[in-house]
Structure 1
Amino acid sequence: MSIWVIIPISLPVLTITGIWVVLYNQSCEEKLSLQRGPELCCTLDNVPLISKCGTLPPESCFFSLICSTGSFMVILIGLLRYAHVIEKHQNCVLNTAGLSTGWICAAGLIMVGNFQVDYAKVLHYVGAGVAFPTSILFVCLQSALTYRLAKTQREYNVGHLRLGMSLLAFITLVFSGVFFVQESFALQHASAIFEWLFCIIIMLFFGTFAFEFGDMSGDTLMVLARGGVQGFSSSDHKAEEAGGPNHHYQPDGIAML
């Protein structure tokens, strides 16, 4: 198995775990300040919006670090996925659109993490308005691209998995947005749960790229070095060296000898 699979797997592991740890510490510090005891704060009965994670230092610093690291990994995964498609198949509109939406999503994630809602509400919501829709568009494009390039049953199964995750992400995002604009505490609580489910599904979707990244090699980086232009692979290059451009003259040379 290629070492490249660590990159997509590490994104959901680090981001989901890190945000939950920050949220738990923040919530417990607030409860301790209210003298309610150090009981577990982040339960299904008390799930705040992700925007409320790390609103106070030092948790706010860790939350920004997690979002910034996550956005960098989204950019890296999107770029490697783009190059891998070109290397194994060929470039297409879906591949280019997937790269673009992934990078736009990463830019929105940076804004969400570095502009806290309590101190820069406008910029925070602008970042969320950029990251959430483009993340849905990204997973939909990648699902369609998976079906387009699929040739084996395993690849079709990966496409089915991504399609299902895309539908779930879209449903959770719609419910989160609908409940978020309501004034009811119960609906606001439901909005927070759906928002967490949406982000977890999106992060796990990035983890599914481990299926393709297992076939990656140094040739994938060469595609990026050539500016995204498909070229000969290492096997083609070895075959060319073995045969050579004048390989078809070899029978005449033997006959002459």
Structure 2
Amino acid sequence: MSLWMILPVSLPVLTITGIWVVLYNQSCEEALYLQSGPSFCCTLDNVPLISKCGTLPPESCFFSLICSTGSFMVMVIVLLRYAHVIEKHQNCVLNTASLSTGWICAAGLIMVGNFQVDNAKVLHYVGAGIAFPTSMLFVGLQSALTYRLAKTQGEYNMAHFRLCMTLLALVALVLSGVFFCQESFTLQHASAIFEWVFCVTVMLFYGTFAFEFAGISGDTMVMLSRGGGRLRSTGIEHKVDSMAGTHSQPHPIQPDNMSIL
């Protein structure tokens, strides 16, 4: 069992716990600073969206740190998953597309964390517009890839579990986007709830990669450092063996024309 399996588990632990702590601390500070008596903390002007985390210092610094660290961890996890698939199976379009969408999602997450909605709304929403759809596309591609590579019953069970998480994330993302466009107090808060459900589901999806990362070895790192050279060399060796087999085949015995005559 490889220690690399700790990496995908630590991603949801860090991001989910960190963002909840930042949101709680900020809500407490706003309550002490702005409220002179008992009132509701969740109003139409203060919907508890993830974007509202860290709008004031020092929580904004921690929110930026969590998003930047999470983005780096996403890039590493996606890259290791890409290399592990090549090592154990073979490269394919789904694997390459997952690598691309995962890294684009990480870039959007950096923008979300470093450009808070109250200070740079346009850049923040651009980052969210990049991170949310690409993360949804990533989990969908990985679910399909898991089904394609599954051979044992445990791998099929993991594929079923990831498919359920993908469908839950898709429903939450669609409902969050639809309700976010409304001006109703209830629908705005429903949008915030579905946004949290979507992000938590995606982070937990990354945590399921511990199932595959338990089998990562030094060969995975060697193959990754060679940029997939193992596959290319294997293909070349296969061609050489095929050519050698062709040349090594005995030539058909030509009939002796003189003896026939």
Instruction: Indicate whether the TM-score tops 0.5.
Output: yes
- Alignment correspondent of 1:181: 181
Q: 2: distance between equivalents of 1:60 and 1:118?
A: 11
After superposition, the Cα gap between the structure-2 partners of 1:41 and 1:218, relative to the gap in structure 1 and judged at 3 Å, is: farther
Corresponding position of 1:142: 142
* 1:223 equivalent in alignment to 2:223: yes
Residues in 1 aligned to 2:178 and 2:223: alpha-carbon distance in whole angstroms: 43
TM-score in terms of structure 2 length: 0.84
The more displaced of 30-39 and 119-128 is 30-39
Q: Is the 8 Å Cα contact of residues 28 and 41 (structure 1) preserved in structure 2? A: no
Task: Verify the 8 A CA contact 2:67 2:113 in the aligned structure 1.
Answer: yes
Distance 1:215 1:39, change over 3 A: farther
Write the distance in 2 (CA, Å) between the matches of 1:27 and 1:39. Answer: 13
Cα distance in structure 1, aligned partners of 2:36 and 2:158: 47
Residues 122-154 of structure 1, C-alpha deviations (whole Å, 9 max, x = no match):
100000000000000000000000000000000
Q: How does 1:8-87 map to 2 (within 5 A)?
A: 8-36=8-36, 48-87=48-87
Gaps of 5+ in 2: 233-261
Structure 2 CA distance for aligned equivalents of residues 204 and 5 of structure 1: 14
2:243 corresponds in structure 1 to none
Q: Which amino acid aligns with 2:76?
A: L
CA distance in 1, matches of 2:98, 2:79: 10
Partner of 1:93: 93
Unaligned stretches of 5+ residues in structure 1:
233-257
Which amino acid is 2:105 matched to? C
Provide runs of 4+ in structure 1 moved above 4 Å: 36-42
Amino acid paired to 2:86: I
- Provide Cα deviations, 1:71-97, integer angstroms capped at 9, x if missing partner: 000000000000000000011110000
- Give the residue type in structure 1 aligned to 2:152: T
Tell me, in whole angstroms, the C-alpha distance in 1 between the residues paired with 2:208 and 2:36: 41
Distance 1:220 1:12 in 2: 24
Q: Partner of 2:121 in structure 1? A: 121
Report the aligned-residue RMSD: 1.9
Structure-1 separation of matches of 2:74 and 2:157:
23
Return the offset for 1:223.
Answer: 1.1
**Residue of structure 1 in register with 2:168 after alignment:** 168
Deviation at 1:202, TM superposition (A): 0.2
With the length of structure 1 as denominator, give the TM-score of the two structures: 0.86
Aligned to 2:104: 104
| Matched length | 229
